[in-house]
Amino acid sequence: MSDMRDMFVETASRLFRDYCTPDLLRAAAAGSFQTQLWDAMVEAGLTKAAVAEDAGGSGAELADALALLVPAGANSVPAPLAETLIAGFLLGEAGVVVPDAPLTIAIPRPGETLRAVRKGDGWLITGAVARVPYARFASGGVTVIAETAEGPLLALVALADCKIAEAANLAHEARDDVAFNEAPAQAAKLTTRQAADVYAMAAAARSAQMAGALQTVLQLSVQYALERSQFGKPLGKFQAIQHNLATLAGQAAAATAAADAAIAHAEHGAGSIAIASAKARAGEGASIACNIAHQVHGAIGFTAEHALHFSTQRLWSWRDEFGNDAFWELKLGDQAVAAGADGLWAMLTDAA
Give CA–CA dist 202/200, Å, rounded: 5
What pLDDT does 227 receive? 82
Distances (CA, A) of 309 to 204, 224, 282, 283, 299: 23, 14, 18, 17, 11
* CA–CA dist 206, 282 (Å, integer): 9
Burial of 7 (0-12, 13-18, 19+ CB in 10 A): middle
CA–CA dist 279, 328 (Å, integer): 7
CATH superfamily of the 101-192 domain = Butyryl-CoA Dehydrogenase, subunit A, domain 2 (2.40.110.10)
Mean pLDDT of the chain: 93
pLDDT along the chain (352 residues), means of 10: 80 96 96 97 95 90 96 98 97 91 94 93 96 98 95 96 97 98 93 92 98 98 84 76 93 97 89 93 96 90 87 97 94 88 80 52
CA angle, corner 179, sides to 131 and 26, nearest 5? 35
Q: Which amino acid is at 148?
A: T
C-alpha dihedral (20, 69, 255, 259), degrees to nearest 10: 180
Please tell me the total number of residues recorded for the chain in this structure.
Answer: 352
CATH superfamily entry for domain 196-349: Butyryl-CoA Dehydrogenase, subunit A, domain 3 (1.20.140.10)
The angle formed by the CA atoms of residues 102, 33 and 255, to the nearest 5 degrees, is 70
> What are the tens digits of pLDDT across the range 108-121?
988 899 999 999 98
What is the per-residue pLDDT for 236? 64
pLDDT of residue 136: 98
The whole-angstrom distance between residue 308's C-alpha and the CA centroid of its chain comes to 19
- CA 264, CA 75: separation in Å to the nearest integer? 22
CATH of domain 1-79: 1.10.540.10
Domain ranges of the chain: 1-79, 101-192, 196-349
User: For the segment 177-221, what is each residue's pLDDT rounded down to a tens digit?
Assistant: 999 999 999 889 999 889 999 999 999 999 999 999 999 999 999
Question: Could you tell me which residues are beta bridge partners of residue 183?
Answer: 125
Q: How far apart are CA 180 and CA 151, in angstroms?
A: 19
Smallest CA-to-CA distance from 292 within 318, 269, 315 is with 315
- Give the pLDDT of residue 351: 52
pLDDT per residue over 254-285, tens digit each?
A: 999 999 999 999 988 888 899 999 999 999 99
CA dihedral 52, 57, 58, 64 (to 10 degrees): -70
Neighbour tally for 122: CB within 10 Å: 13
Strands 233-234 and 229-230: antiparallel
DSSP string, 14-78: HHHHHH--HHHHHHHHTT---HHHHHHHHHTT-TTTTS-GGGTS----HHHHHTTHHHHHHTT--
d(CA 171, CA 25): 10
